[in-house]
Amino acid sequence: MGIHDIIEGKKQWRAHMARVKALPRDYQIVYKEIQRYFFKVGPVGLTGSSQSRV
């Protein structure tokens, strides 16, 4: 990952957050709650399970 990729990612993130902030307040609250849930749960595999199989 080069510096250009980092800068481009940051631009995309800022554009995304600008779209989120343009949403009605209730939608912003739902968006933040969904973020908290997925941050707490972590990545989900292709099977839909949050636990990895051995």
Reported as a single tens digit per residue, the pLDDT across 5-53 is 999 999 999 999 999 999 999 999 999 999 888 877 655 555 655 555 4
| pTM exceeding 0.75 | no
Cβ-contact 45, 52 below 8 angstroms = yes
Residue 46 DSSP label: T
Q: How many helical (H) and strand (E) elements, i.e. helices and strands, does the chain have? A: 2, 0
Total count of residues recorded for the chain: 54
